[in-house]
Amino acid sequence: MFNDPSTEKPAIARRERRFAARWQQILKAAARLFADKGFHRTTTREIAEAASVSEGTLYNYFKNKDDILYGILTQLVEAQSQTNQPTISVSMDASQFFTDYLNQRKKHFDKNSIMMQALISEILSNSELREQYYSQLVEPSIHMMESLLRVRMAIGQIREIDAAQLSRVFYGLLMGLFLLKAIGDPVIDSHWDELSELTTSIVFDGLTPT
Amino acid sequence: MFNDPSTEKPAIARRERRFAARWQQILKAAARLFADKGFHRTTTREIAEAASVSEGTLYNYFKNKDDILYGILTQLVEAQSQTNQPTISVSMDASQFFTDYLNQRKKHFDKNSIMMQALISEILSNSELREQYYSQLVEPSIHMMESLLRVRMAIGQIREIDAAQLSRVFYGLLMGLFLLKAIGDPVIDSHWDELSELTTSIVFDGLTPT
Amino acid sequence: MFNDPSTEKPAIARRERRFAARWQQILKAAARLFADKGFHRTTTREIAEAASVSEGTLYNYFKNKDDILYGILTQLVEAQSQTNQPTISVSMDASQFFTDYLNQRKKHFDKNSIMMQALISEILSNSELREQYYSQLVEPSIHMMESLLRVRMAIGQIREIDAAQLSRVFYGLLMGLFLLKAIGDPVIDSHWDELSELTTSIVFDGLTPT
Amino acid sequence: MFNDPSTEKPAIARRERRFAARWQQILKAAARLFADKGFHRTTTREIAEAASVSEGTLYNYFKNKDDILYGILTQLVEAQSQTNQPTISVSMDASQFFTDYLNQRKKHFDKNSIMMQALISEILSNSELREQYYSQLVEPSIHMMESLLRVRMAIGQIREIDAAQLSRVFYGLLMGLFLLKAIGDPVIDSHWDELSELTTSIVFDGLTPT
DNA sequence: AATGAATGAGGATTCATTCAT
DNA sequence: AATGAATGAATCCTCATTCAT
């Protein structure tokens, strides 16, 4: 009788929004803790406290502790899919494009660094998570990079190299720098913002003196 | 009663060798398990079983479970200090030298990959271990690379770039490729042996078409 | 949402009562076991079983196994502080007063004998517990006894003796008799109720024949 | 052939003496540790170290850890049986006799206080040990005291009181004072040497003012 | 939907005892 | 007879998960 869709749907939407907000709130708290002390050293009690909810409530939003980890992955995938698209203009100068691309990746790292740090450690010791991480985050990135490189090669802006390998080398470089930062290297940390240009300079012009 | 060194010292030496052997045996077993399922998902019972000793025996060789981790680190440090020395001949062609260096690092990675995988995950979530890892393994490597680069710059074999940053970029590249392999990228895996040359080619000659 | 104190406070109070009840329930069970087989021979599993809770629940009420011991001490201190007050009427005949006092202590012993037996053994081998026991239970008792004695001396009901030492002798006597009972002496056990009078008779009239 | 008893027996005796010496050495070390930290908090490794022998050697001298405790008891029983005899002279003045007796007990306590402290805690939580302690140490002492008292009563030196109970009261008093000292009462500790006279004075002359 | 007490399986660690050398 | 490494049962405690309120 009272089921007026015009009032009911907003109610559902509101509930969904509330749910999503709480979900995020828990996720954020957990990510911060995972990044800080690692997944296994973080207790559900700590997560609950940090998220200002009770321990029981966690289980209304996540199936179990592992599920929070997968939630962070999902979040990261979404973040990346939003960042990736608006990147390229073929006409642009190749090295400028490359610097831009690196900067964009760096921005993405910076913005999501807590979630990435929350995951990275577990990725290396949890094979299921690792596979999902690879197929949902790493592979798409590499594939996109690969096809961008192919385009540049096709129009002669960069020389012909195995694009599959080249894209891996670049992706590896990015991960490596991120890792080195995470491990606490002071030089990387203090020059974090100049690294894109340095890398571009190395990669495009080479080390051979002119 | 009669402290005949010719009989007593060997007895002590034998004991020491037995101790070292057992220590290694446990360490190896633990490293394999840590690399496979992570430190926290590995139980002391599993380590004991894999090392064919009793659980109690573990504690005759290691203060606690964490101590095994530090033992692996110690082992890695030793392995690296043995690998690092015989590196360079200044006269050599710069890009050849670079390829050799990468190959040597790669060999080191390959030989100690289990121990590295055993550590890497924990490094990212255990700050004490991380600091030790950085100061005992990463920093020395980077410093060595840095001084090698300075020499090459001084003699004009490579152009002048901030050596501190450059060495980080290279070290990051190495770590990143190792990580990408650990994460299971098939392209990296199947071309693992060609990567040194590819990387040298990129880094020295650049991507710009000639 | 509406913080109606009339409903909220009782809820908290109810929780507190529930907590206190469980706390007591565990304490009682533990005290009985400690008194019977000693602290170290009692396992947390046994305590849990005897208290009809799970092992984990113990740790919602006590920080660790030692903490149960300190809980028993706390309980004893409270019991004593309630018993101690209603003791004296100065006008009373000195030996009558003394008998009354002994009887009162005896009643206290009897009522709390399980808790005392639970503690006594550990007190002798755990210095921190011993110090707390001394300062919270023994010393106050002795001090009270001492001041009572001083009053009686002042009004000439008992002769002048070092009150500090005298009160220790009495307190020691009480402890010794309690111990002798705990050790299982049959004579003490069967004459437990007459001991106050006997002791008074010895202490006041002396052993010298009249 | 070579079994010349005149040389063999001393050899055996020497071996026995060596055995007894080691046995004592271990016992002393253990008693000190038990007295200090309690039986359960003392490990066999600690005993071995304190006695300068290996852990395995302990088991050549004692069946198990408990057996060391019974060894201490045995030692104490011997010590007491040697102390007890040369005590009394009926002719002596009763209160002098009593002071002497207390002093002798006190000396015994002082001399064996470490062994007593080693045992006392366990006695209260180990029923088998307690029973042995009672029948071998407490009961004989009480019985001796009782018969001494009966003699004094018979000759009219002290008035007629139930000797069984009286001897318990005295024994309890002694134990209580010892306990109070063990618990760390400073007054008892600093007046330890005057307590015999004070006690005699109380017990013989009573508290009633003359 | 939220709470947090209760649960109990699981895990690291200790330690008395054994036994090969 | 002495040693001390090896053993593994036993124990305390933690923590993810459940469920009654």
Q: Report which DSSP code applies to A145.
A: H
Instruction: Look at B82 and B2; give whichever has higher pLDDT.
Output: B82
Give the bases of strand F that a protein CB approaches within 7 Å. Answer: 1-20
Share of chain B above pLDDT 90, in %: 61
For B23-75, the pLDDT digits (tens) are 999 999 999 999 999 999 999 999 999 999 999 999 999 999 999 999 999 99
On average, the pLDDT of chain A sits at 88
Residue A35 has pLDDT above 90, yes or no: yes
Rounded distance between C-alpha atoms, residue A56 and residue B35, angstroms: 33
Digit-coded pLDDT (tens) for A65-91: 999 999 999 999 999 888 755 455 656
Contact: C187, D168; criterion CB under 8 Å: yes
Whole-model pTM: value is 0.90
Across the interface, of A38, A164, A174, the residue whose CB is closest to B125 is A38
Share the mean pLDDT of chain C: 88
Residue A171's nearest CA partner among B134, B123, B185 is B185
Sign of CA dihedral B111, B112, B117, B120: negative
Asked if A202 lies within 8 A of B166 by C-beta distance, the reply is yes
Counting every residue, how long is chain A? 210
Residue D179 has pLDDT above 60, yes or no: yes
Confidence bin at B85 (pLDDT 50/70/90) = low
**Burial profile B113-138: b = 16 or more Cβ within 10 angstroms, e = fewer:** ebbbbbbbbbbbbbeebbebbbebbb
Where do we find the tokens 């003490």?
C188
User: What's the longest Cα–Cα distance across chain D?
Assistant: 82
Q: What is the DSSP letter of B167?
A: H
> Within a 10 A sphere around the Cβ of C163, how many other Cβ atoms?
18
Calpha distance A18→A140 (Å, rounded): 31
Distance (Å, whole) CA B133 – CA B126:
10
Task: Give contacts of D191 with chain C, Cβ < 8 Å.
Answer: 162, 165
Pick out chain C residues at pLDDT < 50: 1-7, 86
Q: List the structure tokens of C204.
A: 């006041």
Residue B15 Cβ under 7 A from any strand E atom: no
Query: Are B180 and A199 within 8 A, CB to CB?
Result: no
Which residue of chain D comes nearest to C142, CA vs CA?
A: D185
Q: Say if the Cβ atoms of B122 and A126 lie within 8 Å.
A: no
pLDDT reported for residue D3: 47
Which of A38, A117, A204 is nearest residue B208 as measured by Cβ atoms? Answer: A204
Could you say which nucleotides of strand E lie within 7 A of any protein CB atom? 1-20
Angstrom distance (rounded) from CA C88 to CA C91: 9
The closest of D173, D190, D194 to C170, measured between CA atoms, is: D173
